[in-house]
Structure 1
Amino acid sequence: MKEVYDNYEFLRRLTEKRFSDMILADEAYSYAFDKLVQDDWRRVRAYKGKSSFRYYLGCVWCRLLEDFAIMKFGKITPPQWVKKLGSEWEELFKSLCRQRYSIDETVETMIGRDTCAWDAKMLENAARQIVARIPNCGHKRGPAFSFDDDQHDGMANPDFFADHPAPDDIAINKERWIALQAMANVFFSPSASNCPNENEMDDGKLAALIRAIRERVRLNEEEQLMLTAHFIDGEPISTLGRRLGRNQNQIHGQFRRLKERIKTSLTGLLEAYL
């Protein structure tokens, strides 16, 4: 819809404010835009004119960004000691650890709410205590998790299991290594993948998987360059688009379709060869 494209810069600013890391912001933007397009722009067509379209679009966009954050990092729940200290502490936790805002941004946002009875100094002191007591706050990567009060129990330490894999895990890790090596060899430029040439490999399973992926996905040089620049060199999609002479919507659309093609092409393939 033209109204959405006209607000590209506005949506981009919201995304970059929510995710300061540019690569993460690009990923979040692509996710949110895909959801907007879904079902023939269903979310956009739900606009009833009770507020400005820009305001409505911003609210929808921010909810989609939160959906992305939950999908990416899991729905983080506050520990019991935060809950016991009251609603202001829970709001601080949500802003700092779940929404990943900085202390300054969190304080500024909460001061602007009529429901907040604290002054800026009280909010800042409490925020610093949360960040000090929860080192992972705002930086968690991977699956959903919860900051339970007993999370540091020695027997629950995930590093113990990482350092002492079970026999079945060793076989699984070998297959995972083969899959990752094969995909790196196909998707990224030779200088970036650090993988040996297919003809130099002793592992027949790895060489066969590389050939199968290459045949199924059929990447051209530009697509390989895009994947290498973004995932290996850390170049934001927006910067990559300017380098390739495409506008923001074109490059995000092209990158989205490329990832979808790869995902579809790999479905069932890895299991068949490993």
Structure 2
Amino acid sequence: MFDLPLLTILLLTGFINLIGALAYAARIAGVRTRRIAMSFALFNILVLFSRTSNSFLGPFLAKRIETRIHDGSGLSLFLDMQFVLAAASVATLVGILLVPTGQRMFAAAIGWYQDNRSTTRLALKAVSPTGLRTLRQSLTFPSLSHLKSWKMPKGIGWGVLIANCLAQSLLAVGVVASLYAGYLAPEFRVTASQLSALINGFATILLFAFIDPQLSVMTDDAVEGKVDEADFRRAITFISLSRLAGTVLAQALLLPAAMLIAWVAVHV
């Protein structure tokens, strides 16, 4: 049976995580063009669409839980949540595979915008035959040649990768776990749905206090020539793979996180 609500949730989840994975393409494009600020400014346009999708995702997930409870099919909710996290993993993998294409597209957009300086015209050009031709020409698959030694690049250690994996897993599971906790503790459903910060807060601290500064410093070093561009791309690959591992780890964290949130909602 075709399940349109679930498909909508999966597509929104996929789009959000795809944009997140393509953030690394913006960094590479910024290094190649030596225009970091411009690359992130253009990327933020996509982030706006991602955040808009995210604002719809929560209500869709909440409605899914309410519907399951009212239909007496609440036992299927856990499987639904696993599908949501699986969609995040698949979209992240697709995003990683599209990073080379994305960085070429960002580089082309940066060059065009530098000459024309019109966001509206850039958006129109992106969907024009010329823009589609640029997309076709930019389409490429990632090469693993720069990973042949699998040597950890300077500035990125296992600690950063593990922290990023943990942060991404918590970010992926936070909202989903809080909503599923509402099913585990239905009498405190509203309270549980507001406790995603219990999980996401720690992840946000990890991400913005420890991981992003490391990656930003390495980006600046690459722009200044202190870090070889191949090493920078290798670092981005490792970071991307740790992000993917985090979305997979989220599957294992779903039930413990939901139980923790449900316990807090009931007892605190």
Same fold (TM over 0.5): no
Structure showing the higher helix proportion among its residues:
2
| TM-score, normalised via structure 2 length | 0.22
Relative CO higher for 1 or 2, CA cutoff 8 Å, sep ≥ 6? 2
